Amino acid sequence: MEALSDYMRLARAGAVMLRHDVVIPDAYRSRMPWAAKFAGGFLRVLPGSGGKGRPGQRFAKALEKLGPAWIKLGQFMATRPDVIGVEAANDLSRLKDSVPPFPKSQAMKTLREQFGADTDRLFPNLSDPIAAASVAQVHRMETPKGARAVKILRPGIERTMELELRAMKRIAYSAQNNGPAEVKRMEPAAFIDTMARSLTREMDLRFEAGAASEFGEIAAIDNYVYAPSVDWERTSQRVLVTEWIEGRSLTNPGPLSADERIDLANRITRGFLACALDHGFFHADLHEGNMILAPDGRLVLVDFGIMGRIGMNERIFLAEILKGFLERDYKRVSQVHFEAGYVPANHSMDDFAQALRSVGEPIFGKDATEVSMARVLLQLFDITRQFGMHLRPELILLQKTMVQVEGVARSIDPSHNIWQAAKPIVDRWTKREFGAEGLKKLAVTAAREAMARLRRLPDTLAKLDQALERASEPKEPAVVVKRTSGWGWALTGFAIAAASAAGLWFVLIYQP
């Protein structure tokens, strides 16, 4: 019954995507296996509508129709421009997650389930819903210490997510095990598993509260951006309460002078980069709707559901790359990539430096309005494919967010130059980390790591000795199981077809 339920969900998803011309458009059908072509031809008997716009825009509209889990799928895919392309990632990052609110009475029921007898004391004057999305909605409340924003999970959202994710996993694993080589290379099963783990954390608002609190502490050091404080007494698994922020979203910031626009754009870029470089923690969903310009001039970030982390090695890598590009030292940038192991050793360091020069040189000496970070990033992803590179997911998320940051900054100040804005942050970081104090700290860290490895050495040698003993033991003859054809293959074919209908082929069809 679970399988039937899953396929019915996927059939519905396929029908919606077909109507938005996402499933196997005519221009791409020749690239698909026969099962996908059959599925596309069969589903085309349904009337089509909503087929306008770029592929990513059509896909985003289809996901909006399908509900919370699919919207989250789109948002998660938007973090992988290396797979689906920069343009499609930008389209998916603008997904509109807006649905009718659930009644205030249901919100109060959730509060009573979470806080019991303390509900009336903690939530004495909850407003009607102010904003509603597929996963949660927001209310306002007054307290003796000021106004609060109250975010409450939608009733039954956990079960809805569970069922939709189960269907996605079924198709992803079928595609991974039985699909063509191009699909297997995309690792759809690992992709859905990672998304499922992320969504599990999102269904517990305490994780978001922790992220908001941590981000607020590190953002306060430079004061480029601000995060609302968390009201921990009123926060639980299904409820998140923060201070209420008055202001205007950057989708419509209101009238600003030229100097104010320049300052605001610089704060957007430097606020992001300072948190990422100095602390290895950054807001990874920086669209205009998640930025509020407060009346006192503060730039406030909200919605901490998608965050990114990078370790010290990745921060050194990022700083070296930015510094190398700023100084046009392409050989150093190439060397950093090889030292980090991101470029296979069979490639030439000089050839890679030459490829990087082809990206960097055209943008220098040009006005910022003539240079697109998105285009530069697309060229860099082309190079990663040509040189067989495999970048870490957190670095890809960071690069994607940089493109997002540039887009928002330029919407405020069209002349904004992200490289010039980044320079003070990069210079400050490299001076601190590679100066005398930084090198001393690095030496202490290296010594601690060496001692830790030394303490583990006896245990490691013992395990190695056990493994060698097992390897020398005689082996039982292998049992060969012969695969049979029949219904198993038929279901596999249907699974691959359904995967196409569910829109998972979008990654393959529209990859750059």
CA distance 71 to 119: 32
Single out the residue of 88, 101, 197 nearest to residue 140, CA to CA: 101
Residue 149 bridge partners (DSSP)? 140, 242
Single out the residue of 149, 196, 191, 160 nearest to residue 68, CA to CA: 160
Q: For the chain, how long is the longest CA-to-CA vector?
A: 80
Contact yes or no for 102/132 (Cβ under 8 A): yes
| Beta carbons within 10 angstroms of residue 305's beta carbon | 22
Burial of 234 (C-beta count, 10 Å sphere; 0-12/13-18/19+): buried
- Count how many Cα atoms sit within 13 Å of the Cα of residue 233 in the half-sphere of its side chain: 9
CA distance 18 to 502: 9
382 is catalytic: no
Catalytic residue among 285, 296, 350, 382: 285
The phi-psi region of residue 95 (left if phi > 0; otherwise alpha if psi is between -120 and 50; otherwise beta) is beta
Burial of 361 (C-beta count, 10 Å sphere; 0-12/13-18/19+): exposed
CA distance 154 to 132: 9
Contact yes or no for 271/416 (Cβ under 8 A): no
CA distance 158 to 167: 15
Task: List residues with catalytic annotation.
Answer: 285
